[in-house]
Amino acid sequence: MSTLSLIPTHSHPHYTASMSPAELQAMRAHAQQNPEGFWLEQARRIHWHRKPTQGFRGSFEGDVSIKWYDDGHLNASVCCIDRHLTARGDQVALISHREGRPGAEQITYAMLHERVCRLANALTDLGVEKGERVAISLPMISEAVVAMLACARIGAVHVVLFGGFSAEGIAERLMDSGAVLVITASEARRGNKTIPFKQTMDDALLKCGQNCTVKSVLVVRTSDAAVPMLPGRDYDYHDFVDGFEPDFVPVVMPAEAPLFMLYTSGSTGKPKAVVHATGGYMVWAAYTMGMVYAQKPGDVLWCTADVAWITGHTSVVYGPLANGGTTMISDSLPNAPHAGRWLDLIDDYKVTMLFTSPTAVRAMMADGDAVVQAHSLETLRLLGVAGEPISSDVWMWYHDVIGRGKCPVADTWWQTETAGVVLGPVPGAQPLKPGSASTPLPGLDLALADPQGRIQENSAEGSLCIARSWPGQARTIWRDHERFCKTYFSMVPGFYFTGDGARRDDDGYYWITGRMDDVINVAGHRLGTAEVEDVLATDHRLLESAAVGVPHPVKGQALVVFAIARKNVTAQPTEAGIKRMVADALGRYAMPETVYLVPDLPRTRSGKIVRRLLRKIASGEIENFGDLSTLTDQEIVQTICNFVQEKH
């Protein structure tokens, strides 16, 4: 599979690569030979008030300490705004599209500077001090970007929370983070649903009770609906903020000062609040985004991720702005009010770089090619994807149908903890392999460990680890350094353990096989969830599938598949057919024990399938599901339980 489907470097003449294959090779060699020098050079991508003279200091052993650029001083908002004011103050920094409103806001770097400064003044006026936490729970509107940068400007630590969390989910995170101020909205519309942001926040604050650390709440009014406001605590965002001065002297921070903390998606259990440091993160955001999405003047990058996900931080806000690019946000849904809605926006706003999730690509695929063909999409130069394994079939569809075969597709593998791309191609400088997240970016040293923790050489399969620190590495789990050491550094001593499994082929390309927690072991054969799902993705009658392992008295574990059949196909897939298909492709041992055709799957807000819940349901446990706060739709859990029970 890997070599047959290789797409060579020169096959996308419309895309001008940022470097040649030889330059990329030279960069890799230099980073390998002199990591300290390499990362100090990369630090020049951003603006420092005091330039660092040190790269990495620390250790993955014992109590684990990670420090980068420790003697450097900077302010992240200066890197993203002030630094560009002279050269491109009038260039659009942020395009903000709101569904149901004509046009879009076109916010230049100069305008962004003003807005961020006004909010920085307002936050200071409300008593927020550097190092304190500010929670941001907003829809995808320009205030979300402004809020993050204003926190950075005053040295406060932002904690962006998913809109759509339950009041419990928010309360737990507010108390855990000790946030002193909240920035939220009155409400948001998602398709035909209204999401009551302020109402949920009020409930969450009530739930915090005596443990409530929040003193003020800024509310962006997003509609004309009445919003109850608590005098002395709640402020109308624009009434309050717009009166402040449009200038604010940035608070210069040491490189290791935390810039933000962010909760992981919660696919595998209770979310972890990982902490990222200002200097290393900013260099990393500029570097990784510069390598994969090398924006040129005129390029509009639309990363469709919610700002509450790491992709939203690095690929919507900090990366593109640090690199002086134009970034776009939209609060729209991919297929509401009609199929192809996102494609309309690509044409309307001349998007050149689209970065989305495999789930969104699968949803566009389900709408059918005719919807895509009704759009021009001629501005697109580069396509990207991250968040979950993308099967080679879906990759090819994205490449051929959305990209019209003209645009490279960059599948990038990263985590909240890595803060930026770890595995991903430099488009145009290396061949692509559909379904593979390519190779580590220069400066990253990846390793595969066997179940005993021994590092595997050459082509191999194992748990994906990182041998050396990188600037954007999470420094700790908030208030739980012990959990940090245990989760990431105890599995393979001396290495960062990612929790994912991968295969490395003869060309050094990596293929993610799924989460190590989800690896299925049938009668001694280890199976990655992605391997099974990849097979099912070739059946065009199926929209999506998820494989899990359940205890089995003889085989140890048995394979169970949950699949969604596509609507409007003439012949519906059968359970027996699905079983046969997996067995034919992977071997008889891999024959699924049970197949459930279900209407949908449980997903996190960032679009990931939550296999841990499916595993429980398939094993007959229909209670005690743990933290469901990160799910988009909690009802689907009950629906699937009913399906499974009906079948037995």
Per CB under 6 A, the list member of 312, 387, 403, 471 interacting with ligand ATP is 387
Does residue number 432 form part of the binding site for ligand ATP (CB under 6 A)? Answer: no
Choice between 264 and 391, CB closer to Mg ion: 264
Q: Phi, psi (5° rounding) for residue 524? A: 85, -5
CA torsion 449-451-453-458 (nearest 10°) is: -30
Least spacing, CB of residue 113 vs ligand ATP, in Å: 30
Cis peptide before 337, with omega less than 30 degrees from 0? yes
Least spacing, CB of residue 283 vs Mg ion, in Å: 23
Alpha helices in 350-435, H assignment, sequence order: 358-366, 369-373, 392-397
Does residue number 162 form part of the binding site for ligand ATP (CB under 6 A)? Answer: no
Buried b (16+ CB within 10 A) or exposed e, 330-368: bbbbbbeeebbbbbebbeebebbbbbbbbbbbbbbbbbe
Nearest to 164 by CA among 179, 148, 185: 185
Least spacing, CB of residue 154 vs ligand ATP, in Å: 27
Choice between 77 and 529, CB closer to ligand ATP: 529
Does residue number 388 form part of the binding site for ligand ATP (CB under 6 A)? Answer: yes
> What is d(CA 284, CA 318) in angstroms, rounded to the nearest whole number?
10
DSSP state of 7: B
Least spacing, CB of residue 420 vs Mg ion, in Å: 15
Per CB under 6 A, the list member of 393, 411, 531, 544 interacting with ligand ATP is 411
> What is d(CA 141, CA 97) in angstroms, rounded to the nearest whole number?
8
Choice between 295 and 418, CB closer to Mg ion: 418
| Residue 640 · residue 562 · CB < 8 Å | yes
> What is d(CA 555, CA 625) in angstroms, rounded to the nearest whole number?
26
- Amino acid identity of residue 72, one-letter, is G
- Binding segment toward ligand ATP, per CB under 6 A, in 64-72, 368-376, 381-389, 563-571: 381-389
Buried b (16+ CB within 10 A) or exposed e, 442-472: bbbebbbbeeeeeeeeeeebbbbbbebbbbb
Burial of 299 (0-12, 13-18, 19+ CB in 10 A): buried
3-state DSSP assignment of residue 529: helix
Least spacing, CB of residue 499 vs Mg ion, in Å: 6
Q: Phi, psi (5° rounding) for residue 242? A: -65, -15
Does residue number 436 form part of the binding site for ligand ATP (CB under 6 A)? Answer: no
- Binding segment toward ligand ATP, per CB under 6 A, in 244-252, 325-333, 497-505, 572-580: 497-505
DSSP state of 240: H
* End-to-end Cα spacing for the chain: 38
Does residue number 264 form part of the binding site for ligand ATP (CB under 6 A)? Answer: yes
Q: What is the DSSP string of 273-324?
A: EEEEEHHHHHHHHHHHHHHHS---TT-EEEE-S-TTSHHIIIIIIIHHHHTT
Does residue number 216 form part of the binding site for ligand ATP (CB under 6 A)? Answer: no
Token pair for residue 441?
A: 């970016």
Choice between 387 and 428, CB closer to ligand ATP: 387
- Binding segment toward Mg ion, per CB under 5 A, in 65-73, 211-219, 257-265, 607-615: 257-265
Choice between 9 and 264, CB closer to Mg ion: 264
Please compute, for residue 594, the number of CA atoms within 13 A of its CA located in the half-sphere on the CB side.
Answer: 22
Does residue number 472 form part of the binding site for ligand ATP (CB under 6 A)? Answer: no
User: Tokens 């690095």, residue?
Assistant: 314
Choice between 323 and 416, CB closer to Mg ion: 416
Binding mask 260-299 for Mg ion (x = CB under 5 A): ----x-----------------------------------
| Residue 520 · residue 488 · CB < 8 Å | no
Per CB under 6 A, the list member of 18, 392, 416, 545 interacting with ligand ATP is 416
Binding mask 591-610 for ligand ATP (x = CB under 6 A): ---------------x-x--
> What is d(CA 599, CA 510) in angstroms, rounded to the nearest whole number?
32
Interacting partner of 500 out of ligand ATP, Mg ion, none (Cβ under 5 to 8 A depending on kind): ligand ATP
Does residue number 345 form part of the binding site for ligand ATP (CB under 6 A)? Answer: no
Token pair for residue 616?
A: 């429980």
Choice between 121 and 391, CB closer to ligand ATP: 391
Interacting partner of 162 out of Mg ion, ligand ATP, none (Cβ under 5 to 8 A depending on kind): none
- Binding segment toward ligand ATP, per CB under 6 A, in 57-65, 360-368, 375-383, 498-506: 498-506
Does residue number 176 form part of the binding site for ligand ATP (CB under 6 A)? Answer: no
Interacting partner of 436 out of ligand ATP, Mg ion, none (Cβ under 5 to 8 A depending on kind): none
Does residue number 268 form part of the binding site for ligand ATP (CB under 6 A)? Answer: yes
Choice between 151 and 310, CB closer to Mg ion: 310
Choice between 443 and 499, CB closer to ligand ATP: 499
Question: Residue 178: left if φ>0, alpha if ψ -120 to 50, beta else—which one?
Answer: left
Interacting partner of 512 out of ligand ATP, Mg ion, none (Cβ under 5 to 8 A depending on kind): ligand ATP
Count of residues binding ligand ATP (CB under 6 A)? Answer: 26
Choice between 274 and 291, CB closer to Mg ion: 274
Does residue number 283 form part of the binding site for ligand ATP (CB under 6 A)? Answer: no
Choice between 270 and 580, CB closer to Mg ion: 270
Does residue number 500 form part of the binding site for ligand ATP (CB under 6 A)? Answer: yes
Please compute, for residue 88, the number of CA atoms within 13 A of its CA located in the half-sphere on the CB side.
Answer: 20
Interacting partner of 388 out of Mg ion, ligand ATP, none (Cβ under 5 to 8 A depending on kind): ligand ATP
Token pair for residue 428?
A: 């145009």
Choice between 189 and 603, CB closer to ligand ATP: 603
Per CB under 6 A, the list member of 384, 389, 443, 573 interacting with ligand ATP is 389
> What is d(CA 452, CA 429) in angstroms, rounded to the nearest whole number?
36
Please compute, for residue 511, the number of CA atoms within 13 A of its CA located in the half-sphere on the CB side.
Answer: 22
* Cα 379 to Cα 71, 338, 412, distances in angstroms: 43, 22, 22
User: Tokens 């003439």, residue?
Assistant: 570
Choice between 155 and 384, CB closer to ligand ATP: 384
Sign of CA dihedral 595, 599, 604, 606: positive
Does residue number 413 form part of the binding site for ligand ATP (CB under 6 A)? Answer: yes
Interacting partner of 142 out of ligand ATP, Mg ion, none (Cβ under 5 to 8 A depending on kind): none
Per CB under 6 A, the list member of 108, 265, 330, 529 interacting with ligand ATP is 265
The site for Mg ion (CB under 5 A) is made up of 264
The site for ligand ATP (CB under 6 A) is made up of 264-268, 271, 309-310, 386-389, 411-416, 437, 498-500, 512, 515, 606, 608
